[in-house]
């Protein structure tokens, strides 16, 4: 067995039958629902339980990350939307028109993540514009986390359905 065969056996391009894809899907959504607007959710919980310095740390972290996100959206937002749209369109065409399973898998990861990106920018804008702090900030962060988890649950459900369909069709066709 040569090196090329070994690598492509480990990284199977048939994504939906590959355990690594499902592990990556779980890790992506777990990480995404933990980091809210770039702030780990345990900081929100710690601020709620202990207040004081933990609350100040949370507000500082949120302010820094909101300013960072809004700066990026303000300076490069249109370019990012254009390039992201072109990337998602390319993946959709390659995946669903030309039936490249790897492109389907990446599309089913990237599309919902782009929705979470838009949600994050909206949350950052609301936090900055309303000057949220304390309990109002924690509630907004919780709301954003719940919305992210809803997007994640729908994305995982759709991906699982599509993956099962793909695996059944490949099995029915004989490989």
What pLDDT digit, counting tens, does each position of 77-136 carry?
Answer: 999 999 999 999 999 999 999 999 999 999 999 999 999 999 999 999 999 999 999 999
Asked if pLDDT for residue 14 goes beyond 90, the answer is no
Q: Provide the domain limits for residue 113.
A: 51-173
Is residue 78 situated within a structural domain? Answer: yes
Is residue 18 situated within a structural domain? Answer: no
Asked if pLDDT for residue 12 goes beyond 80, the answer is no
pLDDT tens digits for range 37-65: 999 999 999 999 999 999 999 999 999 99
Is residue 168 situated within a structural domain? Answer: yes
Quick one: tokens of 166? Answer: 């793909």
Helices and strands counted in the chain (H then E): 6, 2
DSSP annotation of 11 reads: S
Asked if pLDDT for residue 67 goes beyond 90, the answer is yes
User: CA 13 → CA 4, 61, 65, 153, distances in Å?
Assistant: 13, 39, 36, 24
Is residue 9 situated within a structural domain? Answer: no
Is residue 55 situated within a structural domain? Answer: yes
Show the DSSP H helices in 38-133 as ranges.
41-50, 52-92, 101-130
**φ and ψ of 14, to 5 deg:** -85, 90
Alpha-carbon distance of 135 to 35, in angstroms, equals: 19
Placement of tokens 């702030």 in the chain: 39
Alpha-carbon distance of 60 to 42, in angstroms, equals: 15
- The number of folded domains in the chain is 1
């Amino acid at each position: 067995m040569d090196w090329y065969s070994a690598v492509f056996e480990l990284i199977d391009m048939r994504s939906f039958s590959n355990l690594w894809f499902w592990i990556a899907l779980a890790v992506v959504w777990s990480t995404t629902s933990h980091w809210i607007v770039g702030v780990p959710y345990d900081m929100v919980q710690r601020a709620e339980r202990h207040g004081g310095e933990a609350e100040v740390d949370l507000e500082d972290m949120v302010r820094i990350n909101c300013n960072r996100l809004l700066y990026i959206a303000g300076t490069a937002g249109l370019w990012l939307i254009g390039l992201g749209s072109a990337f998602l369109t390319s993946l959709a065409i390659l995946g669903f028109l030309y039936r490249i399973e790897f492109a389907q898998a990446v599309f089913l990861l990237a599309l919902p993540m782009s929705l979470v990106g838009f949600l994050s920018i909206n949350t950052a804008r609301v936090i900055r514009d309303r000057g949220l702090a304390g309990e109002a900030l924690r509630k907004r962060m919780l709301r954003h986390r719940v919305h992210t988890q809803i997007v994640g649950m729908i994305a995982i459900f759709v991906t699982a359905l599509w993956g099962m369909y793909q695996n059944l069709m490949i099995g029915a066709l004989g490989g």
